[in-house]
Chain A
Amino acid sequence: MNIPKKTEVTIMKTLKKHFRYYPLYLMILPGFLLILCMRYLPMGGIIIAFKNINYADGIIRSPWCGFANFQFLFKTKDVLIATRNTLLYNLAFIVLGMVVSIAFAIALCEIRNRFAAKVYQSIFFFPYFLSMVVVAYMVFAFLGMENGLLNKSIFSFLNIEKIRFYAEPKHWPFILVFVNLWKNVGYSTVIYLAAILGIAPELYEAAIIDGASKWQQIIYITLPSIKPIIIILAIMAIGRIFYADFGLFYNVPMNSGALFSTTQVIDTYVYRAMTKLGDLGMAAAAALYQSFVGFVLVITANWIIRKIDSDNALF
């Protein structure tokens, strides 16, 4: 081998440069290996989506089947319903969550009693700390058929007929949106609150001298000032619009088959296809469909941020 002397020197230089940083490489190594094993190796499993898996042959030797799994998947009505649900729920979560938490943050800033504002904020934050299993118990305590507070005490007191919440799908869009808001509003309120507190007070002082009313201050100062963070959070949420909170959609409706028409989302669909139907190929196809569309959406969302405000782009 005849390497030109010049190249040899540059290679040596590069190696030396990297070697100087070997302690940093050592520091990064454990995390690197963990990410490699836990996040990159599973990506190899994607080929299951293109294979006709049978357990006797294992993943490598099972025969390829092209896009048959996908064809089969999109022939079923379930995946369309799951996709529709995922998108609509996320849309409702994004819009309502944003409106409610911004309103809360502004109102918290305006309350005269500072101490009360702190107490409210702490209490609103509380549901965020609960696991979805606990939330499911709590929803059950209110909505349960036989013993639930609503059916047993309140409805019978008001002489309203009992509602079979866990058997009738039509109630669940409201329940799930409400539970999601209830759980997460405290968290996003704090984020918006931080943004509002970061606004320069001079802006308000100048507005007061000009005689601006409270409404005018909110509309012309507060909202425009927190616009960047609103946009960022919205776009990040839009990038995740193909994913759903598995715990919320699986636990809270107690995995009830009667409710699938309004509670099935892509995440729960994939899980059920994998565990209940046992059709590994189709479940993998659904999971890949989700990852791939999610990937495209994140890239698109980031492209949009860059157009609007390049400083805030994720990458």
Chain B
Amino acid sequence: MKKKAGVNQISNRANCIINIFFLIYAILCIAPLLLSLGVSLTDEKEVILHGFNFIPRKFSLDAYRFLFQDASHVLRAYGVSIFVTVVGTLFSVMLTALYAYPISRKDFPAAKFFTFFIFFTMLFNGGLVASFYINTQLFHFKNRLYSLLLPLMMNPFNVLIVRTFYKQSVPKSIIESSKIDGASELRIFIQMVLPLSKPAIATIALFDTLCYWNDWFSSLLYISDVKLYSLQYTMYTALMNIKYLLKFGETSSDALNSLGTVPTQTVRFTMVLIAIGPIILAYPYFQKHFVKGLTIGALKG
């Protein structure tokens, strides 16, 4: 069944070429994920003999068994990551929404000052060394959970996005009429402004979630206690330092007894899958809102 191209459609041939190209690129986008899945399901000896492959030559669940036999490491890292992500996102969104509201109000006399106050941090910063020194000396950041939370809280760019959104989609008249009706500022904010700006709040919440979940740099700087390793940092350590995985095995002697050796290669890729598991599950939801949020930002220009 051959359809003729419409008045302003690209030719059949062009359509076909673009589709083939996109198909190949789409495969390229998910191939690494499939490769990781393949490796994690392969027997360790096969990996050493034949390398990483998409399809396991010899199927084995040893890597998963190893990780879950003494799951305390993984579970703890998961716990740290989930805690940091949830708490971090909650506070981050709350502080951002609260900060953005006053600076969006034209009648607020200090709006200009506070806008510049946050904007300046986008232009200039103390740099890594100064931040590290002050954070460790003044705020005692070494091996604290809050050292994973605080540095990423309140991204100035997010504050400006939300401020712009308030300005554009919360009509001034609503605020004024509520005031005349005797509503307090806080009440106006919670009952009028927040519900109207749900899309912007949802977008920055997603940005924050992604940012906290994928963060490993704060751990690299401030965390040396294994108990506080986040999932990403555990993976970072396991990639940079294969001995870490072996140590990981020492504590779980049961796993070692049943497997003989630590399946270092396959376990690494099992960890990859475990770490991106939640993201893949939330992916459709994430993607939908990200696209919407980005569109809001882009149309603003």
Given contacts A18-B109, A31-B154, are A299 and B123 in contact (CB under 8 A)?
A: yes
B151 adjacent to A38 (CB under 8 Å): yes
One of A4-12, A75-83, A139-147 at the interface:
A139-147
| Chain A to chain B contacts (Cβ below 8 Å), 29 pairs | A21-B109, A27-B101, A27-B186, A31-B118, A37-B139, A42-B125, A44-B134, A45-B126, A45-B127, A112-B10, A124-B25, A131-B215, A133-B236, A137-B235, A137-B239, A138-B35, A138-B36, A141-B36, A147-B48, A149-B52, A149-B54, A152-B52, A190-B295, A194-B299, A198-B299, A229-B301, A288-B130, A294-B124, A295-B124
Q: CB within 8 A of A247: which of B28, B101, B216? A: B216
Q: Closest approach, in angstroms, between the C-beta of A245 and any C-beta of chain B?
A: 11
Interface size class of A (residues with CB under 8 A): 35 or more
Q: CB within 8 A of A131: which of B50, B139, B232? A: B232
**Measured between alpha carbons, how far is A134 from B136 in the docked complex, in Å?**
28
Residues on B with beta carbons closer than 8 Å to the beta carbon of A42: 125-127, 130-131, 133-135
Residues on B with beta carbons closer than 8 Å to the beta carbon of A286: 129
A182 adjacent to B276 (CB under 8 Å): no
CB proximity to A under 8 Å, residues B154-180 = 154, 156, 159
Q: Is B39 an interface residue (CB 8 A)?
A: yes
Q: Is B26 an interface residue (CB 8 A)?
A: yes
One of B61-69, B70-78, B245-253, B264-272 at the interface:
B264-272
Residues on A with beta carbons closer than 8 Å to the beta carbon of B102: 21, 24-25, 27-28
* Number of inter-chain CB pairs below 8 Å: 286
Q: Is B240 an interface residue (CB 8 A)?
A: yes
A124 adjacent to B29 (CB under 8 Å): yes
CB-based nearest B residue for A231: B301
One of B14-22, B82-90, B254-262 at the interface:
B14-22
Given contacts A35-B121, A134-B275, A290-B127, are A274 and B95 in contact (CB under 8 A)?
A: no
Residues on A with beta carbons closer than 8 Å to the beta carbon of B18: 107, 110-111
A287 adjacent to B153 (CB under 8 Å): no
CB proximity to B under 8 Å, residues A85-112 = 107-108, 110-112
A31 adjacent to B95 (CB under 8 Å): yes
Q: Is A129 an interface residue (CB 8 A)?
A: yes
Residues on A with beta carbons closer than 8 Å to the beta carbon of B103: 28
Q: Is A224 an interface residue (CB 8 A)?
A: no
B32 adjacent to A142 (CB under 8 Å): yes
A153 adjacent to B50 (CB under 8 Å): yes
B185 adjacent to A274 (CB under 8 Å): no
Further pairs besides A30-B99, A287-B129: 17, Cβ < 8 Å? A24-B105, A24-B185, A27-B101, A38-B150, A41-B134, A44-B134, A45-B134, A130-B276, A141-B269, A148-B51, A149-B52, A228-B301, A270-B127, A274-B129, A280-B133, A286-B129, A291-B126
Q: Closest approach, in angstroms, between the C-beta of A67 and any C-beta of chain B?
A: 16
Interface residues of B (CB under 8 A from A): 7-10, 14-15, 18-19, 21-22, 25-26, 28-30, 32-33, 35-36, 39, 47-48, 50-54, 95-96, 98-99, 101-103, 105, 108-110, 114, 117-119, 121-135, 137-139, 150-151, 153-154, 156, 159, 184-186, 189, 210, 213-217, 232, 235-236, 239-240, 265, 268-269, 272, 275-276, 279, 283-284, 286-287, 290-291, 294-295, 297-299, 301
B109 adjacent to A191 (CB under 8 Å): no
Most buried by B among A134, A214, A267: A134
Q: CB within 8 A of A251: which of B127, B236, B297? A: B236
Residues on B with beta carbons closer than 8 Å to the beta carbon of A18: 109-110
Residues on A with beta carbons closer than 8 Å to the beta carbon of B122: 298
Q: CB within 8 A of B185: which of A27, A30, A35, A59? A: A27
**Measured between alpha carbons, how far is A274 from B127 in the docked complex, in Å?**
12
Residues on B with beta carbons closer than 8 Å to the beta carbon of A136: 239
Residues on B with beta carbons closer than 8 Å to the beta carbon of A30: 95, 98-99
B127 adjacent to A288 (CB under 8 Å): yes
**Measured between alpha carbons, how far is A198 from B217 in the docked complex, in Å?**
38
Q: Closest approach, in angstroms, between the C-beta of B180 and any C-beta of chain A?
A: 15
A48 adjacent to B129 (CB under 8 Å): yes
